[in-house]
Amino acid sequence: MEKSLAQLTEYLEGELVGDPATKIRGVAAIEEAGKGELSFLANPKYAHLLKTTSASAVIVARETSAEGIKTSLIKHGNPYFAFAKAVELFAGARKISPEGVHGTAVLGEGVKLERGVHVGPQVVVENGVRLGRDSAVLAGSFIGADSSLGEGCLVYPNVTIRENVQIGKNVIIHSGAVIGSDGFGYAREKGVHQKIPQIGGVKIEDEVEIGANVTIDRAALGTTRIGKGTKIDNLVQIGHNVDIGKRCIIVAQVGIGGSTKIGDDSIIAGQAGLVGHLNIGKKVVIGAQSGVTKDIPDQTTAFGFPAREIRKARRIEAHLSRLDLYVQRLKEVERKLKEMGRTSP
Amino acid sequence: MEKSLAQLTEYLEGELVGDPATKIRGVAAIEEAGKGELSFLANPKYAHLLKTTSASAVIVARETSAEGIKTSLIKHGNPYFAFAKAVELFAGARKISPEGVHGTAVLGEGVKLERGVHVGPQVVVENGVRLGRDSAVLAGSFIGADSSLGEGCLVYPNVTIRENVQIGKNVIIHSGAVIGSDGFGYAREKGVHQKIPQIGGVKIEDEVEIGANVTIDRAALGTTRIGKGTKIDNLVQIGHNVDIGKRCIIVAQVGIGGSTKIGDDSIIAGQAGLVGHLNIGKKVVIGAQSGVTKDIPDQTTAFGFPAREIRKARRIEAHLSRLDLYVQRLKEVERKLKEMGRTSP
Amino acid sequence: MEKSLAQLTEYLEGELVGDPATKIRGVAAIEEAGKGELSFLANPKYAHLLKTTSASAVIVARETSAEGIKTSLIKHGNPYFAFAKAVELFAGARKISPEGVHGTAVLGEGVKLERGVHVGPQVVVENGVRLGRDSAVLAGSFIGADSSLGEGCLVYPNVTIRENVQIGKNVIIHSGAVIGSDGFGYAREKGVHQKIPQIGGVKIEDEVEIGANVTIDRAALGTTRIGKGTKIDNLVQIGHNVDIGKRCIIVAQVGIGGSTKIGDDSIIAGQAGLVGHLNIGKKVVIGAQSGVTKDIPDQTTAFGFPAREIRKARRIEAHLSRLDLYVQRLKEVERKLKEMGRTSP
């Protein structure tokens, strides 16, 4: 496919600085793009690349100056989003897997496959599973009894979805993820750990994306829930009975302890850990590697170990950087006092 | 199944406050339970729910006050354990997989299957493996040559157990876990990392439970050991030649460096990390996200980064919270001294 | 196989202290080795074991004193490396999988298998994949369309390699690893997270080893690269467009944010986290659990949260250990000042 910059700018609803007749036939990273390719610049840290890129055009933020830049620019209010649309246009949003069940797949009784469903090689689907319209379950994945996937789901190879897991529409689950493993619950009695049977379920709402090798435990009782539009990065651990709101972002290697609730539109940065039974509000931001041990109210940014409100945390950090100086100053004060003691009558 | 509260209280060895004739037919979470359902309350944080629950009865700690509470209470010295027994009674402890080998499973030579063994679809069992009585290996799992599982083991789908791994009785292994991967060992020679062949094994003792996507490396030489009754949560990393005692609790995302030894009945909270070659005593408790760099004696609670004995760690933390104040006080002292210097003759 | 200590010492290019005629027929850990077995001692922490071991010989560092030690010693400039060679000699470097494709494997169209390739049971290889000479793909693994593996690669069971992943020679990938999962990229537009299609690839260079349950994301555009000879431990997360140099060591549970570059010969210790878009130099060492938020120049050791140059970090840590004392001293200064204020005229 080939589009002129005029056509492309109109499609992306941007503003063109450059030659409208220039032809674009693909997308590429700004360092690698050549003639006929479109790139983008979202991070101002890389602005100098605009002067050296060989791309025929670059999508940039509206406020970007075109001075001294030879390549054409498509200015946009949300360059990252505009680029996502361009990538979809040229590279295709998603390869569609053809309808059908591979001959090596094993399907249980009462499995309901809606129209357009693809079941790949070596897949195992247990009794009573429902796979929604146009969903694809790729090679080697497992779907346990009575689980269900809504319309348009994409399950990558070697995923494990245990029994009684309810998954909404357009959910993407990456390889190695495990959904519905037993929660970690024991009662200590007579010196040994007695397992608490974990008989609850998991509910994954529409438009959720779950990263590679993520683990989401089933509830002891009730339901572990991931709210609509929430995106979870790789190697995240979500304990039993956790309840995550809508449109949250959970970055790689985060761990969330059992029964903790997280409000809508919250962001948890990489490697942060939250103990169990917390109430985290809406629009909360938790910094990378933070250790959260207390409830956090709505619209709060928290940070550090233990996590504190960001201004408090930053102040402690600044003081830590100056500790050396403070200790010097304390010694100086002690010296002066000693001197005064000596000279005073 | 249906039980009267009188029957149930006797079975659980509790003490009933309420109507002994009330019928119970299931268990549920306290917020969701309705008429005919039993729930439990272990965490006093949720005590207010006793006044609003629709459950017909709730298992509670012995000291819980029944004042102002309409629902029946079963008082118990270990409510969590009593509830585990109740869940088993109503929901069944574990679904038994039927004896037999699925037609798509691939079994090597000299595999020994004891009575009651279940081998699921797409499973691969290599030469010389022994599967103990009533064990189940579910879909897509792999068991390497000469490994053995004792009686009553449950291996969930998509588990990898490499060669020469010895597993005891009643061990549960969750999906995505990898047991017996090579330890991480290289010798630097002529500027490159030469791999040290990892030719040791892994021994998992009876009653161990291993979470989803856990990794346990085989020993370089000798054995990586997980002691009887130890429970390991999801995404934990256990290095080569680690030796974990009996009845330990290892919470999610913990990492344990090679050759470290951990004594019986120790607890390591989530995301903690231990460097290699440490001796951690018995009944040690290590706080969440701690970084352990030194040996820890028996019956010690340690915490923080680097991990310190808990009272020392708590004091540092308290001082950090007051650093701002201390710096103000230091400035005030400096101001006064300056003033005195000016006014003194 | 059996070798005399004379033969063995010559083969390992060491220096013998003991009886050259002693026969060795295997290797074992120093605590477990018996008559006829060779062991090694690299960590001086365990030097006392030289006096109690039953091994017939032990490889040790050149400077080790033989005084009071009855077992024979092979002294060597790099005992760890010498031992690796001895292990290979007696235990074999790697079991060779026989050439052939298992009957249950599923191969797509245009798959190119070079001489000596082994494809295990339940493996799925998609269209256009190339498997280099003597490579082995073990049970249940998946290789996506148009990916390629060089000569001598070893892919353990239940690995997932997505489409368009280029892998060099002699690469080892452990079970549960996921290579080429989508990077974590969304553009927020109209209140929801729009997925940025991740259409780049992954390049794994020669001699790389990748641990169990590691996740390496494909680039958004361009390439995520792991340089030649780099070794990655279990449960590590590598974000999209990350570029790791040659001969790096990345210890378990490290997380590296998108687009970060790491220079050759760097070492990142366990559970450390690096945010995205950083430039980390060559021969950098990052301490365990560190949180890296800024660029690090060549040959720097950094440590802590946030990571600081090691001397600065160590000083802060030392001050923290003495905070209690400093606060006492501050109080003492205040007390004296108050006293002076009272007694001064």
The CA distance from A270 to C215, in Å, is: 14
Cβ distance of C80 and B187 shorter than 8 Å:
yes
CATH of domain A3-91: 3.40.1390.10
State whether the Cα torsion B18-B22-B25-B29 is positive or negative: negative
Q: Looking at this protein, which amino acid is placed at residue C24?
A: I
Q: Locate all alpha helices (DSSP H) within chain B, ordered by sequence.
A: 5-12, 49-52, 79-91, 310-321, 323-343
pLDDT at B270: 98
Q: How far is CA A255 from CA A196, A240, A288, B253, C151, in A?
A: 21, 12, 12, 7, 38
| CB contact (8 A) between residue B157 and residue A124 | yes
> Which residues in chain C are closer than 8 Å to B257, comparing Cβ atoms?
270
SS3 C143: strand
On whether the CB atoms of residues B198 and B219 are closer than 8 A, the answer is: yes
Among A181, A222, A329, the residue with its CB nearest the CB of B29 is: A222
pLDDT of residue C236: 98
**pLDDT at residue A345 tops 60:** no
Distance of CA B128 to the CA centre of its chain: 31
pLDDT at residue C92, rounded to an integer: 66
Instruction: Tell me the CATH number of domain C100-311, given options 3.40.50.1820, 2.160.10.10, 3.30.930.10, 3.20.20.140.
Output: 2.160.10.10
Question: Which of C340, C338, C323 minimizes the C-alpha distance to A326?
Answer: C323
CB pairs under 8 A between A and B: 186
How far is the alpha carbon of A149 from chain B, nearest alpha carbon, in Å?
A: 19
Q: Which residues pair with B76 in a beta bridge?
A: B61
Residue among A143, C334, C325, A9 nearest B332 (CA): C334
Among B124, B257, B329, whose Cβ lies nearest the Cβ of C140? B124
Kindly report which listed range (A320-329, B134-143, C267-276) carries the lowest average pLDDT score: A320-329
Give yes or no for residue A157 having a pLDDT over 60: yes
**Sheet-wide strand order for C308-309:** C100-101, C118-119, C136-137, C154-155, C172-173, C209-210, C231-232, C249-250, C267-268, C285-286, C301-303, C308-309
Q: Which residues pair with A249 in a beta bridge?
A: A231, A267
Work out the average pLDDT over A190-215.
95
The alpha-carbon gap from B36 to the nearest alpha carbon of chain C, in Å, equals 42
> What chains are in contact with C, requiring at least 3 Cβ pairs below 8 Å?
A, B
Q: What is the mean pLDDT of residues B265-286?
A: 98
Which run of H or of E encompasses A330?
helix A323-343
Distance to chain A for B303, nearest Cα, Å:
11
CB contact under 8 A, B317 and A306: yes
Strands C223-226 and B160-161, how do they pair?
Answer: unpaired
- Which pLDDT band holds residue A53 (cuts at 50, 70, 90)? very high
Q: Do B196 and C121 touch (CB under 8 A)?
A: no
Q: Determine the Cα–Cα distance for residues B324 and B321; give it in Å rounded to an integer.
A: 8
Q: SS3 of A3, please? A: strand
From the list A78, A121, A326, the residue facing C189 with the nearest CB is A78
Lay out the sheet containing C37-40: strands in order across. C15-17, C72-76, C57-61, C37-40, C26-27
Placement of tokens 């390991």 in the chain: B232
Q: Which residue has the higher pLDDT, C317 or A212?
A: A212
- Which residues in chain C have Cβ-Cβ distances shorter than 8 Å to B221? 27-29, 32, 39, 87
Choose from B165, B234, B237 for mutation: most chain C CBs within 10 A: B237
- Tokens describing residue B314: 């708590």
Instruction: Read off the amino acid at residue B123.
Output: V
Question: What is the per-residue pLDDT for B225?
Answer: 98
List, for residues B144-186, the tens digit of each pLDDT value.
999 999 999 999 999 999 999 999 999 999 999 999 999 999 9
Residue contact C215–A209, C-beta within 8 A:
no
Tokens linked to A183? 């929660």
Residues of chain C in contact with residue B344, where contact means CB-CB under 8 angstroms, are 344
DSSP C222: S
CB A41 within 8 A of CB A53: no
| Domains of chain B, residue spans | 3-91, 100-311, 312-343
Is C84 in contact with B271 (Cβ distance < 8 A)?
no
8 Å CB contact of B315 and C324: yes
Q: Which residues contact A222 (CB under 8 A, 6 or more apart)?
A: A200, A201, A241, B28, B29, B31, B32
Q: What is the pLDDT of residue B161?
A: 98
> Hey, of B175, B271, B343, which one would you mutate to test binding to chain A, going by the most A CBs within 10 A of its CB?
B175
Longest pairwise C-alpha distance within chain B? 102
> Mutating which of C162, C190, C215, C234 best tests the A interface, going by the most A Cβ atoms within 10 A?
C215
C95 pLDDT higher than 70? no
**Considering the entire predicted model, what is its pTM?**
0.95
Please state, in angstroms and as integers, the Cα–Cα distance from residue C130 to each residue in A329, B292, C126, C143, C174, following that order: 67, 45, 10, 10, 19
Question: For residue A43, what pLDDT is reported?
Answer: 78
Residue C93 confidence (pLDDT)? 52
- Average pLDDT of chain C? 94
Contact present, C248 and C230 (Cβ < 8 Å): yes
Measured between CA atoms, how close is A163 to chain C, in angstroms? 21
CA distance B123 to B103: 10
Q: Which two tokens stand for residue B273?
A: 């990390």
pLDDT in tens, C130-169: 999 999 999 999 999 999 999 999 999 999 999 999 999 9
C-alpha distances out from residue C267 to A157, A326, C262, C264, C271, Å: 32, 33, 9, 9, 12
Separation CA A214–CA A173 (nearest Å) = 9
> Between chains, do C186 and A231 touch, taking CB under 8 Å as contact?
yes
Q: How confident is the model at residue B15 (pLDDT cuts 50, 70, 90)?
A: very high
Is A277 in the active site? no
pLDDT of residue B99: 94
Q: Taking a C-beta distance cutoff of 8 angstroms, is the pair B310, B302 a contact?
A: yes
> What ipTM was predicted for this assembly?
0.94
- A27-49 pLDDT tens trace: 988 888 999 999 998 777 888 99
- Nearest chain B residue to C42 by CA distance is B187
CB A251 within 8 A of CB A273: no
Comparing CA positions, the residue from C215, C250, C255, C214 lying closest to residue C229 is C250
pLDDT tens per residue across span B224-252:
999 999 999 999 999 999 999 999 999 99
Q: What is the pLDDT of residue B94?
A: 57
Closest-CA residue to A332 (of C329, C317, C319):
C329
Return the SS3 of B261: strand
Average of per-residue pLDDT across A109-124: 98
Question: Is the Cβ–Cβ distance between B75 and B40 less than 8 Å?
Answer: no
Task: Supply the pLDDT for residue A147.
Answer: 98
For CA atoms C139, C142, C148, C153, the dihedral sign is negative
* Partner-chain residue, chosen from B39, B78, B213, that has the shortest CB–CB distance to A189: B78
Distances (CA, A) of C147 to B58, C104, C309: 57, 21, 41
Collect all residues of chain C within an 8 Å Cβ-Cβ radius of residue B306: 317
Q: Are A170 and A151 in contact (CB under 8 A)?
A: yes
Q: pLDDT at residue B338 above 90? A: no
| Cβ distance of A315 and B305 shorter than 8 Å | no
Partners of residue B156 in chain A, C-beta under 8 Å: 160, 162, 181
Count helices and strands (H / E) in chain C.
5, 40
Q: Residue C176: closest CA among chain B residues belongs to which residue? A: B176
Q: Would the pLDDT of A306 be above 80?
A: yes
Average pLDDT over residues A167-177: 98
Asked if the Cβ–Cβ distance from C94 to B239 is below 8 Å, we say: no
pLDDT of A158 reads: 98
A76-to-A14, A21, A80 alpha-carbon distances in Å: 5, 19, 9
With a cut of 60, say whether residue A5 has pLDDT above it. Answer: yes
| pLDDT at C74 > cutoff 60 | yes
Q: For residue B143, what are its two tokens?
A: 């068991």
Lowest mean pLDDT among A224-228, A239-243, A332-336: A332-336
Residue A285, CA atoms < 13 Å, CB-side half-sphere: 3
Question: Do B326 and C321 count as a contact with CB atoms less than 8 A apart?
Answer: no
Q: How far is CA C115 from CA C100, C139, C205, in A?
A: 9, 19, 21
Of all residues in chain B, the one with the smallest CA distance to C28 is B221
Who among B158, B188, B291 is closest to C289 (CB)? B291
pLDDT of residue B95: 64
Helix (H, G, I), strand (E, B) or coil at A131: strand
Instruction: Write down which chains contact chain B via at least 3 CB pairs under 8 A.
Output: A, C
Average pLDDT over residues B21-47: 89
Question: Are B319 and C323 a contacting pair at CB < 8 A?
Answer: yes
Among C144, C277, C289, beta carbon nearest to A43: C277
Q: Which of B48, B118, B240, B319 is catalytic?
A: B240
Closest CA relative to residue C113, chosen from C61, C149, C163 = C149
